[in-house]
Amino acid sequence: MEAAVQNVVNELKASRDEEPIKSIQKYLTNNNYRSLVAFSLIFMFSLVFYLIYLLVDAFIDKEKHYELCVKSFERYEKRCRAKKAKQQEQQPNDLERLDDQQIKQHIDEMVGVEEADEQEKREALSRQTKLAFTEWSMRNLQISFIHSVLSSLWLIRIAIVRYEPLFGDLLFYVSWDTYLLVAFSSGYFLYDFYDIYANGYVRREWVVCAHHVIVLVSFSYHMCALQSVGYTCLALAMEFNSVFLHARKLLSFYMFGKRSLPYLVNCACNVTTFVLFRFGVLAYIYYGVYSDGHRVHWAYLVGLVTLVTLMAIINVFLFERVVKRDVLPLICGPKQSSSSHSSIKHKSKGKRKKSKKLADDELVHAATIDEKALIVDPQLLSSENLPIINNGQSNVVLVMVE
């Protein structure tokens, strides 16, 4: 009696596990019909993400969002200026390498008032363009964060309900929840590609666009062929880490300091999930190539290995950047610049010693349009060559040697 009951229970479990596959095979038996369903679902979910964008745009405080974008852009400009100043300190003085023709060219460029006005207009236009890109990228990042959160919750549900049959055959096991998850993420990538194209940032974000195209081709093929849907869901487990990657930028955007508790917690989760759900998933996919490679065509296997290898290389560089920006500053603390200051002082002392050899009757007069005095090394001046010196605040500098 007990054996008969156990057989019935086993049959019910087997039928429950096979039900998703039979249902999909029932509805998607014809190849053309299967392709139509796959592309229709992808397009439908792309519209869903567009509706999500409209909801976010409707409920967000636009004025505050713009103010935060301006502050974020100003912090970016400050970092760029500091980096440029550091590079200029490390490089030798360009005035020593100027010849007569270059000096005349610089004089013509600096003296022309009209050209200066045009340069200011170009800089203002460039700044406005960069600010618009910052505002768009933050809005785009919010939609990406929503996709990562929803995909992660969906994957948790699949891991609870479909764990045994899914990992029993990652190559050919298909259920409606795994199938719809692939369509859901494909719809997001389609929407994101359109968002980049509609705002005119394809050339600037060409790497992201190339990634989206490759993913869309791969995911749509898996949906049409009903093959490797399990491995695709496994690859989407990287979205667990994407949650914290996007949250890192959002915390910085909303003025959370790098020493604040939310930022530190997110940093720890970011590094941990990066190792587990990116490197760990890639390692498992390589193992799947080894164990299930004989069950697929060799051309498909070569393409899959190539794409997985590219993803592994990208993730290595991404992890290096995460460690440099978040982990090392917490361990080592802020960088000390005493060595650079000492080297600069040493160079200035050497120049002062050389300048003492010049005649006492050689006078240097420097005048700028904003009437601010400049310290000019007499060694760099001669009666034949009139170099241009710019203190970073004025447009024209005239130098005369008597």
Ranges of each domain in the chain: 15-83+110-254, 358-402
Q: Which residues, listed in sequence order, are joined to residue 401 by a DSSP beta bridge?
A: 364
188 phi, psi to nearest 5 deg = -65, -45
Residue 112 has pLDDT above 60, yes or no: no
Residue 361 has pLDDT above 80, yes or no: no
- Phi/psi-derived region of residue 226, left when phi > 0, alpha when psi is between -120 and 50, beta in every other case: left
Q: Which residues, listed in sequence order, are joined to residue 399 by a DSSP beta bridge?
A: 366
3-state helix, strand, coil in the chain (%, to 5): 80, 0, 20
Residue 376 has pLDDT above 60, yes or no: no
| Cα–Cα distance for residue pair 18/168, rounded to 1 Å | 12
- Phi/psi-derived region of residue 385, left when phi > 0, alpha when psi is between -120 and 50, beta in every other case: beta
| Cα–Cα distance for residue pair 153/163, rounded to 1 Å | 15
| Residues 6+ away with beta carbon under 8 Å from 235 | 281, 285
Which residue would you say has higher pLDDT here, 67 or 89? 67
| pLDDT (mean) for 349-356 | 48
**In contact, 155 and 240? CB cutoff 8 Å:** yes
Task: Report the b/e string of 188-217 with b at 16+ CB within 10 A.
Answer: bbbbbbebbeebebeeebeebbebbeebbe
- Which one, of 196, 100, 180, lies nearest residue 141 by Cα? 196
- Phi/psi-derived region of residue 60, left when phi > 0, alpha when psi is between -120 and 50, beta in every other case: beta
Q: How confident is the model at residue 274 (pLDDT cuts 50, 70, 90)?
A: very high
Query: pLDDT of 97-109, one tens digit each?
Result: 545 555 556 555 5
Of 9-18, 51-60, 177-186, 368-377, highest mean pLDDT = 177-186
DSSP state of 30: S
How much is the pLDDT for 402? Answer: 39
Q: How confident is the model at residue 190 (pLDDT cuts 50, 70, 90)?
A: very high
How much is the pLDDT for 31? Answer: 59
Number of neighbours of residue 377 by Cβ within 10 angstroms: 17
- Which one, of 231, 270, 221, lies nearest residue 249 by Cα? 270
**In contact, 180 and 28? CB cutoff 8 Å:** no
| pLDDT (mean) for 351-370 | 42
How much is the pLDDT for 381? Answer: 45
- Which one, of 50, 235, 59, lies nearest residue 147 by Cα? 50
Q: Is 259 in a helix, a strand, or coil?
A: coil
Number of helices (H) and strands (E) in the chain: give both, helices first.
15, 2
Tokens of 392: 């970073």
Least confident of 7-21, 139-153, 283-297: 7-21
| Cα–Cα distance for residue pair 342/351, rounded to 1 Å | 14
Q: How confident is the model at residue 232 (pLDDT cuts 50, 70, 90)?
A: very high
